[in-house]
Amino acid sequence: MSRRVLVLNGPNLGRLGSREPDVYGSTSYAGLVETCQGLGKELGFDVEVRETNDEGELVRWLHEAADGKIPVVINPGAFTHYSYAMRDAAAQRTAPLIEVHISNPYAREEFRHTSVIAAVATGTVAGFGLGSYRLALRALAEEVSG
Binding positions are 75, 81, 88, 102-103, 112
From the list 24, 29, 63, 133, the catalytic residue is 24
Q: Say whether 63 is catalytic.
A: no
Which 3-state string (H, E, C) describes 11-50?
A: CCHHHCCCCCHHHHCCCCHHHHHHHHHHHHHHHCEEEEEE
Query: CA-CA distance, 3 to 46, in Å (whole number)?
Result: 6
Task: State the binding site for substrate.
Answer: 75, 81, 88, 102-103, 112
State the Cα angle at 62 between 61 and 67, rounded to 5°.
95
Bridge partners of 100, per DSSP, are 125
From the list 82, 84, 101, 106, the catalytic residue is 101
Q: So which residues are the catalytic ones?
A: 24, 101
